[in-house]
A and B are shown apart, each in its own frame.
Chain A
Amino acid sequence: MIPLLSINNLTVSVGPKVLVNDVSFDVPEAKILAIAGGSGSGKTTIGLSILRLLPSALSIQGGSRIVFEGHDLLGLPEADMRRCRGARIGMVFQEPLSAFDPLFTIGQQLDEVLVAHTRLTKSGRYEKILQTLNEVELPDPKRAYVSFPHQLSGGMRQRAMIAQAMVGDPSLIIADEPTSSLDVTLQVKIMELFSKLRVKKNMTMVLIAHDLGMISHLADEVIICRAGQIVERGSVRQVIDSPQHEYTKALVEAFQ
């Protein structure tokens, strides 16, 4: 079976410095692949490379290929790439308070995604947004729709963020440290939400995290990154139960 996303020889550099070095991996449909590693290991850079939204100083080197649904994203014209973002690939950020524009309500910002990608009518979009807000188990979707980001609690904001990533019905979701800004009890709830959504929506996901607890709970496969290189990969059980590389061992130890 052809994987939904296949990254081949991805190399990203800033000037002479290489941030991501020759990274390759596949994400099969309906699977969750986790990218783990410490700060500065290039996890986030890999995530943003898929969407081609790296800061302008960073460049993806020739020879890299990111094949998604049969197209090489790196060869796509910018207009097609824009249509792909939000509609085919959704992204969940670490800190929802700064990822939402403080001047607009949650509803308005979710609406923006639907306006950009669908031809739904105003009421059609409203229904779709309420349905999505309901799916992420926000207690009062109608209230959340008219709330400004700062009016929601941290957990609710993160749910709204997940709703924003899902509202365009993308086939792939990239979640960049989706629980790092939350306290432990909320982390568990968001994790449970992801497990439910994955069953319900048959979700394919790239989960960027440093929290091995969450990875072991959610992911099918994991790759461990260090200084822009993959040091170990395999199924979650295999990597966590019997880590081979020194760095992985240290990570697992730190987690236990």
Chain B
Amino acid sequence: MGRKINSNSRTSLAFASFRRNRMGMICLWGLVILYAMAIFADFVSPYSYKDEERNFSYCPPTRIEFRDQGKWAAPFVYHYALTFDAMHRRVYVVDRSQKYPLHFFKGGRLWGVDAPGRFYWWGADARGRDLFSRIWYGARISLSIGLLGVGISFMLGLLIGGLAGFYGGWVDSVLMRICEMFMMLPGFYLMLALRAAVPENFNSVQVYFSVVVILAFIGWASLARIIRGMALSLRERDFVLAAKTMGVPDVVIIFKHILPQTISYSMATLMLTVSSYILAEAGLSVVGLGIQDPVPSWGNLLSDAMSIVPVLFAPWILLPGLFIFIAVMCFNVVGDALRDAFDPMFNE
């Protein structure tokens, strides 16, 4: 009778059911790829996020060429020359007289070209910064802010929901009324108000953490209510009564016997909350209250696309929006899949 036989626990059954969910698995892999790209942003992107070249403002995506004068060649790019058309609009003309070979694994970066050539796979922004690079550096901020914010919200939610659910009575009433006060306020306006309270002269790291704290501050209440509901039912379980008859202190009962049981179920809610935090950060940054340029986040990258003219002439600056969409969708689908997986009725 080895310990391996008994692996059919609720959790492992749920994960087996999750693995059968095709959309869930695809989106889980999508998230893994997004996070991997964010972690290795220094490596996968050809430029640093603040590397700018004013002569390449809104340079269109660079085509990677494989054929040189009718023959196969190692990948290279042509020079893009800035000129103005009859309407005095900026246009880029491919200058075939100047070629720059694409080099790989040079200077700790996956790919790039030597100066004065520039390589903009997904185009450039107003200041001639590479959008491809900035999207992955921005992913670091956008994807981590959601996780960090949810981490803090979850701790608060566990603590307050656990206390309210375990003790019930007036403790429960007071804590839940406080939660409801937070849930009553419209989230986005509360966020704007809180952001207004943060000093203007904060540096980017301080802004980052203040955004995390603001997000966590707004979101903990709904998590606390969910945990409280589970704690209310768990405290009626025999093993909680048994622990009480043994004189185990309440704190130990809450943290060892009640909260660990809630985690598998609250995973799904956590995933859905991460996506709402990513959106909230983007919302803050789009209106210029989140992460400040030159540090990129998906939100403030998208704020370049707020006016119609750049979007008309440089549609690629909408790309960060696509990534926000992908990330939020993946988190939502994975969250739904996890919820289905943990729902015993659904499995039958």
Contact residues of A with B, CB < 8 Å?
51, 53, 56, 82-87, 89-91, 93, 95, 98-104, 109, 112-113, 115-117, 148, 150-151, 164-165, 168
Contact = CB atoms under 8 A, between A and B. Distances in A.
Contacts of B256: 101, 104, 112
A104 B256 CA distance: 9
Interface of B: 1, 3, 6, 168-169, 237-239, 241-249, 252, 256-257, 260-261
A84 B238 contact: no
B147 to A, nearest CB: 25
Nearest to B1: A151
Given A56-B169, A112-B252, A151-B1, A98 B239 contact: yes
A148 B6 contact: yes
B237 A98 contact: yes
A102 B249 CA distance: 19
Contacts of A164: 242, 246
A112 B242 contact: no
A241 to B, nearest CB: 34
Given A51-B245, A87-B247, 11 more contacts: A56-B168, A56-B169, A85-B245, A85-B246, A86-B247, A95-B238, A104-B256, A112-B243, A113-B247, A117-B247, A164-B246
B239 A53 contact: no
A93 B238 contact: yes
A115 B242 CA distance: 16
A86 B245 contact: yes
Contact of A86 (B168, B169, B246): B246
A171 to B, nearest CB: 14
Contact of A99 (B239, B252, B260): B239
- Give 6 closest A-B pairs by Cβ, nearest first: A86-B247, A85-B247, A86-B246, A98-B238, A91-B245, A99-B242
B241 A53 contact: yes
B245 to A, nearest CB: 4
A113 B238 contact: no
13 contacts: A53-B241, A53-B244, A83-B247, A86-B245, A93-B241, A98-B237, A99-B241, A101-B257, A112-B246, A113-B246, A113-B248, A151-B6, A164-B246
A247 B309 CA distance: 93
A135 B59 CA distance: 81
Contacts of B168: 56
Contacts of A115: 252
Nearest to A148: B6
B248 A112 contact: yes
A168 B246 CA distance: 8
A102 to B, nearest CB: 8
Contacts of A98: 237-239
A149 to B, nearest CB: 9
Nearest to B239: A101
Contacts of B252: 112, 115-116
Contacts of A100: 239, 242
A150 B247 contact: no
B21 to A, nearest CB: 25
A206 to B, nearest CB: 13
A208 to B, nearest CB: 13
Nearest to A79: B249
B262 to A, nearest CB: 11
A118 B308 CA distance: 72
Nearest to B237: A98
Residue from A89, A99, A115, A117 having most chain B Cβ neighbours under 10 A: A99
Given A85-B245, A113-B246, A168-B246, A99 B6 contact: no
Contact of B246 (A116, A148, A150): A116
A116 B248 contact: yes
Contact of A116 (B1, B241, B247, B257): B247
Nearest to B2: A151
A117 B6 CA distance: 33
B247 A84 contact: yes
B249 to A, nearest CB: 6
Contacts of A165: 246
Nearest to B240: A101
Nearest to B167: A56
Contacts of B249: 82, 116
B242 A91 contact: yes
A103 B248 contact: no
B2 to A, nearest CB: 10
Nearest to B252: A112
A226 B249 CA distance: 35
Nearest to A87: B247
B207 to A, nearest CB: 40
Contacts of B238: 93, 95, 98-99
B258 to A, nearest CB: 10
A9 to B, nearest CB: 24
Contacts of B260: 103
Contacts of A148: 6
Contact of A101 (B1, B169, B243): B243
